[in-house]
């Protein structure tokens, strides 16, 4: 599988960087939609916690050749506690997500999940002390408005699934903040390696309380889920390596189409007009936040270059 991905990457090397990154991210979204769709048939037999563990176990197995090739000494990391915390958050987010998709229509779940960039902005301001000005705070407020349009408290039943999706978005945002902190001292390959290695044994702990032996069919579903997840993560990583995040991340919202299609084809789900309106509001606010962050990042980089030039002149 990894060999096939390398061959496709070699063929796409001739494409412009942004085009290549967009294609990687769109294809990653397709595989993530397939992975999430597999949760429901697996949940007929297994608790979502066990699905999370088996998914991580098979993903780690598929990633082992890459980890050995990288030759990363995980135990010598100076930020081991932060890596363990990030793995714990990642596992908790998956447990929230896998449980939620058994309770909500797929397009509702992924639409609410797109509030994660909004929570990243809030945490970046509170934890990292990053400057967030009025226009971005306005976009955050609009994004929460889109969330309320989808949930419509008081007009429809607000169930545990909604809370779990929001919990997933908040926890995922906290994990992103940790990645920003970790990336100051360690390269991406070390961060990714830690995540895959530690999240598997950590997710085993709650699984022991709900374990049942899967049927042969479920084992096949788990292998398929791990394959889709691994391919999706590899493609998403390559997308961000091919071009700037601000250029390719807007294409991530095409996942909405894939999730809506999967919900209709596999489960007969049709999103209502309120979900579509709320999703559009969330997407618009998130895109604006990403655009503002890209502008601020370019301005900061330009200021640093000017400062370096001034020092050289002296």
DSSP label at 192?
A: H
Pairwise CA distance, residues 286 & 131, whole Å: 17
Residue 188: pLDDT band with limits 50, 70, 90: low
- Confidence class for position 297, pLDDT limits 50, 70, 90: low
pLDDT per residue as tens digits for the range 98-146: 999 888 888 888 888 877 777 777 777 777 676 667 777 777 777 777 7
Whole-prediction pTM value?
0.75
pLDDT range class, residue 189, cuts 50, 70, 90:
low
Contacts of 101 (CB under 8 A, 6+ apart): 36, 39, 40, 109, 161
Contact 269, 105 (CB under 8 A): yes
Closest CA to 282 of 169, 69, 114: 114
Spatial contact of 47 and 93, defined as CB atoms under 8 Å apart? no
The whole-chain average pLDDT of the chain stands at: 78
Closest to 137 (Cα-Cα) out of 283, 279, 288: 288
* Residue 153 in this model has a pLDDT that exceeds 70: no
So what's the pLDDT on residue 59?
A: 83
Decide if 259 contacts 266 (C-beta within 8 A). no
User: Following CA atoms 143, 148, 149, 151 in sequence, which dihedral angle do they give, to the nearest 10 degrees?
Assistant: 130
Domain assignments of the chain as residue spans, ordered by start: 105-158+272-314
Q: Which two tokens stand for residue 209?
A: 């309380």
| pLDDT score of 11 more than 80 | no
Highest mean pLDDT among 48-52, 185-189, 247-251: 48-52
Q: What percent of the chain has pLDDT over 90?
A: 11
pLDDT tens profile 262-290: 888 888 877 777 777 877 887 787 777 66
Model pLDDT, residue 300: 66
Higher pLDDT, 1 or 194: 194
CB 204 within 8 A of CB 54: no
pLDDT score recorded for residue 233:
76
Is residue 204 predicted with pLDDT exceeding 90? yes
pLDDT at 114: 76
pLDDT at 48: 92
Query: Would you give the DSSP letter of residue 297?
Result: H
Mean pLDDT of 147-151: 70
What's the angle, vertex CA 279, arms to CA 48 and CA 29, rounded to 5? 55
Residue 130 burial by CB count (10 A; 0-12/13-18/19+): exposed, middle or buried? middle
pLDDT value at residue 154: 46
**Residue 208 has what pLDDT?**
94
Tokens of 28: 């990653």
Task: Assess whether pLDDT exceeds 90 at residue 197.
Answer: no
Q: Which of 170-184, 191-205, 280-294 has the lowest mean pLDDT?
A: 280-294
Distance between CA atoms of residues 275 and 259, nearest Å: 13
User: For residue 153, what are the β-bridge partners?
Assistant: 156
pLDDT band at 313 (very low <50, low <70, confident <90, very high): low
Q: What are phi and psi of 71, to 5 degrees?
A: 55, 55
């Amino acid at each position: 599988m990894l060999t096939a991905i390398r061959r496709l990457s070699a063929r796409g090397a001739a494409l412009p960087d942004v085009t290549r990154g967009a294609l990687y991210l769109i294809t990653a979204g397709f595989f993530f939609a397939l992975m999430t769709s597999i949760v429901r048939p697996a949940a007929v037999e297994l608790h979502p916690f066990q699905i999370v563990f088996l998914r991580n176990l098979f993903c780690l197995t598929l990633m082992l050749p890459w980890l050995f090739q990288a030759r990363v000494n995980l135990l010598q990391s100076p930020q081991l506690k932060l890596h363990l915390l990030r793995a714990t958050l990642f596992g908790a987010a998956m447990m929230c997500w896998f449980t939620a998709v058994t309770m909500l229509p797929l397009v509702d779940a992924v639409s609410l999940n797109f509030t994660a960039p909004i929570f990243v902005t809030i945490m970046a301001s509170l934890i990292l002390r990053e400057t967030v000005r009025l226009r971005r705070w306005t976009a955050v407020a609009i994004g929460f408005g889109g969330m309320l349009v989808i949930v419509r408290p008081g007009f429809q039943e607000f169930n545990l699934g909604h809370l779990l999706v929001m919990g997933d978005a908040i926890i995922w945002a906290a994990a992103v903040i940790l990645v920003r902190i970790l990336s100051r001292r360690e390269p991406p390959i070390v961060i990714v390696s830690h995540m895959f290695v530690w999240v598997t044994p950590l997710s085993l702990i709650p699984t022991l309380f709900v374990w049942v032996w899967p049927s042969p069919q479920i084992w096949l579903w788990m292998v398929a889920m791990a394959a889709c997840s691994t391919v999706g993560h590899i493609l998403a990583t390559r997308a961000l390596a091919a071009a700037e995040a601000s250029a390719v991340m807007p294409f991530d919202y095409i996942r909405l189409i894939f999730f809506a299609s999967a919900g209709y084809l596999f489960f007969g789900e049709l999103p209502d007009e309120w979900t579509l309106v709320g999703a559009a509001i969330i997407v618009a606010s998130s895109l604006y936040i990403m655009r503002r962050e890209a502008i601020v990042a370019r301005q900061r980089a330009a200021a640093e270059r000017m400062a370096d030039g001034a020092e050289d002149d002296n």
